[in-house]
Amino acid sequence: MPFSIAVVVLVIVLVFSTIKVLNEYERGVMFTLGRFTGTKGPGVIIVIPLIQQMRKVDLRVIVLNVPKQDVITRDNVSVKVNAVVYFRIVDAGKAIIQVENAFDATSQVAQTTLRSVVGQHEMDDLLAQRDKLNIDLQRILDQSTETWGIKVSTVEIKDVDLDESMIRAMAKQAEAERTRRAKIIHAEGESQAAQTLVDAAKALGQAPSALQLRYLQTLADISHERTQIIVFPLPLDLIKPFLGPRGE
């Protein structure tokens, strides 16, 4: 009797070990007597004990944080850069057969690629053209991990840390650039104002009556000043129309 119970229990254990259930985002990489025989899933999978083995693979997107890397840019600036990588396994068979640990392998490649790509660019590119660097990182990583059945969809540079001396130098450079632009804008304004005065002088010179009206307008503006006595020269051109032929 105890022997029969043991047999029943053994059969039940074998049955349960034979049946595997894979979720929608999982695949089973099958090995029969050590040889790769394809992938199965999702759903119910039958695995023959002692003959077949199944390695479960998750196909969901994995977020990988690349730790800060010490990098020297092309213009010899020392920075610390970290990034985040979004990737997923698209070929479960390759992810098991071609590499021992797909996650660790992708992490190591991401670190070396980050140092290599950033080192090929200048500091200004790293700060101003980060989108371009992200695209280059994604392309290189995707090519490197393709043989492992991994698809790298996105790479984003997160933080760029500079030492205090470089931050001060960049602040001085930015201040000098703002001063330069202010001087250029001021010079352009002076040039435009001078040109406007030249044009106005030419227009007034071609119309003497307009010059007289402008003179009178100036006198009217002066009359509003809080002064008791106003002394101003009276141009002869202003009174010539009143003198007639005798004033000639």
Helix (H), strand (E) at residue 72 = strand 62-72
**Residue 175 Cα distances to 77, 161, 168, 179, 189, angstroms:** 20, 21, 11, 6, 21
In a domain, 198, yes or no: no
Cα(156)–Cα(102) distance, integer angstroms: 20
Which residue's entry shows tokens 């996650």? 103
**Same-domain status, 79 and 144:** yes
Query: Is 71 in the same domain as 156?
Result: yes
In this predicted model, which residue has the larger pLDDT, 241 or 201?
A: 201
Q: How do residues 154-179 score in pLDDT, each as one tens digit?
A: 999 988 887 766 656 666 666 676 77
C-alpha 95/C-alpha 99 separation (Å) is 6
**76 falls within a domain:** yes
pLDDT of residue 186: 81
Q: Evaluate whether residue 16 is within a structural domain.
A: yes
Identify whether residues 102 and 44 lie together within a single domain. no
Give the number of domains in the chain: 3
Helices (H), the chain: 2-18, 92-97, 102-119, 123-128, 130-145, 164-206, 208-223, 236-243
Task: Taking residues 192-202, report their average pLDDT.
Answer: 75
Does some domain include residue 105?
A: yes
Residue 11 sits in which domain range?
2-56
Residue 66: pLDDT band with limits 50, 70, 90: very high
- Say whether both 67 and 134 belong to one domain: yes
| pLDDT band for position 205 (cuts 50, 70, 90) | low
* Amino acid 59: pLDDT: 94
